[in-house]
Amino acid sequence: MRLAAAEKLSGLLRVRMRAGPFRIYFLGLTLHLFYLLVLYISPAAKYNLELPEGGSSDNLWKGRDVMTYVEPARNALEHGVFGRDGEPDHHRTIGYPFFLALMMWLLCTHLAQAALFALLYPILASMGFMLFGRRFRLAPLLLFLLLAGTYWSKVPIIMTDCFFTLLFTLGLYFGLRSVRGRGILDFVLYLLFVGAAAQVRPTLILYPFLHLALYPAAAAQAARIDRAERLTRPAVMKRLAIAFVLLLPLCNAPTLRNALHHGLYKPADAFEKGLFDALAQDVLIRGGRADLYRQMQSDVEAADDLKQRLALKRAYALEVYRDDPLGTAEVLVRNAVRILGNSHLLSVAHFWGRHWRDFDSEKHMPLRGSIVLAAVNTVSYLVYAALYLGFILSLLRCVRSGSFWSAFAVLLLTAYLIVPTFMLRSDARVRLPVEGLVLLFAVPVLPGLKEGR
């Protein structure tokens, strides 16, 4: 019965790519707009859709994180500078505040995100067929993304995760097209979208070096899928070198901006905040040494300038890790399990005042300990465990078929994007940049549903 129902649903979702991208986009956009409509017609949820004003938020946004994007955007509209009080911001890269400023000026932030994030569905579908040809099945991809709430749940959230994911995925999409010999435009768009993604998050400062492994691997995979439509090896090597040279300044533009304004040769202070304010703090609190963290924090705040504060954070964080390696490992594992396994659907409950973490606020009613949270998390952890297993099996299949370097390049990119986030006590949103990639590789080995090209 279950197999028959799955096959029937697969038939309803079956879309051939020759005529399907617009229909796939329309399906995603309709769901995104419907979700926004539900939020707008609920008084409690609509209140929490409003952009936070002032220096903090009294609604259910995570005030500090959201305001670090909203304040530079508002400052740009009022003073022409992405920062605070006329001073350029060193904490955030300018890509998302720039987008926010434009959308806030046009008064259509949520609608713009709904329309833009819906592009991810046809993009991932096209990438799947480019990577795997007839072995790729469209229905499981769409079914998973829609039921898991991977992208539609992020439409009303003012954070960088889904916007960065969109730009970076577009870059990878045009990179795949460019190795199939589709002209210079795809190659240029590959550079532009990866460069744009680097302005949204500082994560991509080392991407030019990953490009050296990814681009030849993509070309090799394209040759296996479609031998008649691909670049020659000399052309691949030429584009490989050109892209490396151009991506270096593009991906390090935030570093150049901070060097110009603050004398700081870093794209942002996110790494030190992760080391000290997130991971080291959690290790000390779990070890019953919260007083030591407060003392270290006082020393950091008393430092003369920004460079000294960041240096102290790095030094204190490493000291904490050396003193308690087991506690550090425990926190990293806990964070990793939560980030990799939590359901995207939990973020939907935020707008009705419920959160999976305990907040010291009358406006937040924690889900922790509830049957609903236990049920959602149990299902989510089992589903994602199966997804990651499918991803590993797919990479092993690549290795057995002689595509070791392709498997290595994909694994390297995935690890590069996700492992640093394990410092944070965060949730499912931070895995967005890799979730689509993992799903693309897991789909060809999923049993049951069958999808023709």
Please tell me the predicted confidence (pLDDT) of residue 16.
45
Question: Using CA atoms in the order 197, 200, 205, 209, what is the torsion angle rounded to 10 degrees?
Answer: -10
Please tell me the predicted confidence (pLDDT) of residue 282.
93
Residue 9 clears pLDDT 60, i.e. is over it: no
Name the pairing type of β-strands 87-88 and 83-84.
antiparallel
Residue-wise pLDDT for 356-367, tens only, equals: 554 444 455 555
Residue 354 forms beta bridges with which residues? Answer: 365
Could you give the CA distance from residue 232 to residue 276 in angstroms, rounded to a whole number? Answer: 48
Residue 382: both structure tokens together: 């089992």
Percent of the chain with pLDDT over 90: 45
- The mean per-residue pLDDT over the stretch 3-31 comes to 65
Residue 305 clears pLDDT 90, i.e. is over it: no
Name the pairing type of β-strands 354-355 and 365-366.
parallel
Listed in sequence order, the DSSP H helices in 252-370 are 253-262, 270-272, 281-286, 290-302, 306-323, 325-341, 346-349
Question: Which of 331-345, 393-407, 435-449 is predicted most confidently?
Answer: 331-345
Residue 58: both structure tokens together: 């009294």
Residue 135 clears pLDDT 80, i.e. is over it: no
Run of H or E including 26:
helix 21-41
Could you give the CA distance from residue 200 to residue 98 in angstroms, rounded to a whole number? Answer: 9
Could you give the CA distance from residue 445 to residue 394 in angstroms, rounded to a whole number? Answer: 6
More confident residue, 268 or 437: 437
What are the boundaries of each domain within the chain? 270-341
- The mean per-residue pLDDT over the stretch 266-282 comes to 87
Burial of 288 (0-12, 13-18, 19+ CB in 10 A): exposed
Task: Compute the Cα dihedral for 427, 428, 429, 435 and give only its sign.
Answer: positive
Residue-wise pLDDT for 375-405, tens only, equals: 888 899 999 999 999 999 999 988 888 888 8
Please tell me the predicted confidence (pLDDT) of residue 392.
94
Residue-wise pLDDT for 32-89, tens only, equals: 999 999 998 988 787 777 665 444 455 545 556 777 788 888 888 887 778 776 677 7
Full DSSP string of 211-234: HHHHHHHHHHHHHHH-TTS---HH
CA-closest candidate to residue 111, choices 155, 70, 67 = 155
- Long-range pairs, 283-288, Cβ under 8 A, ≥24: 283/320, 283/321, 283/324, 283/327, 283/328, 283/331, 284/320, 286/327, 286/330, 286/331, 287/324, 287/327
CA-closest candidate to residue 156, choices 26, 25, 59 = 59
Q: How many CB atoms lie within 10 A of CB 135?
A: 16
Task: Compute the Cα dihedral for 194, 187, 192, 206 and give only its sign.
Answer: positive
What residues have CB less than 8 Å from 443, skipping those under 6 apart? 128, 132, 136, 137, 140, 141, 390
- The mean per-residue pLDDT over the stretch 294-323 comes to 90
What residues have CB less than 8 Å from 10, skipping those under 6 apart? 139, 140, 143, 449, 450, 451
More confident residue, 140 or 222: 140
Among the listed ranges 58-72, 198-212, 284-298, 310-324, which one has the minimum average pLDDT value?
58-72
What residues have CB less than 8 Å from 89, skipping those under 6 apart? 68, 72, 82, 83, 97
Full DSSP string of 28-39: HHHHHHHHHHHH
